[in-house]
Amino acid sequence: MSKNDCYERLNRQLKDLLAGERDFLPNAANTAALIYHGLPELNWAGFYLLRQGELVLGPFQGKPACTRIAPGRGVCGRAAKERRTVIVEDVHQFPGHIACDADSNAEIVVPLVDAGELIGLLDLDSPRRSRFDAEDRTGLEMIVETFLASTALSTI
- What is the structure's pLDDT at 156? 83
Q: 147 is in which domain, residue-wise?
A: 3-155
Name the strand (E) or helix (H) holding 64: none
Distance between CA atoms of residues 5 and 2, nearest Å: 5
pTM value is: 0.95
Beta strands in the chain (DSSP E): 44-51, 54-62, 68-69, 86-88, 106-114, 117-126
pLDDT value of position 12: 98
Q: What pLDDT sits at residue 32?
A: 98
| Confidence (pLDDT) at 24 | 96
- What is the pLDDT at residue 154? 84
Among 107, 151, 148, 144, smallest CA distance to 10 is for 144
% of the chain beyond a pLDDT of 70: 100
Per-residue pLDDT at 129 exceeds 80: yes
Mean pLDDT of the residues in the chain: 94
User: pLDDT, tens digit, for every residue of 17-44?
Assistant: 999 999 999 999 999 999 999 999 999 9
Q: How many domains does the chain have?
A: 1
- pLDDT attached to residue 91: 92
Q: What does the alpha-carbon distance between residue 108 and residue 125 come to, in Å, rounded to a whole number?
A: 7
User: Residue 98's pLDDT band (boundaries 50, 70, 90)?
Assistant: confident
Check which CATH number belongs to the domain holding 9 and give it: 3.30.450.40
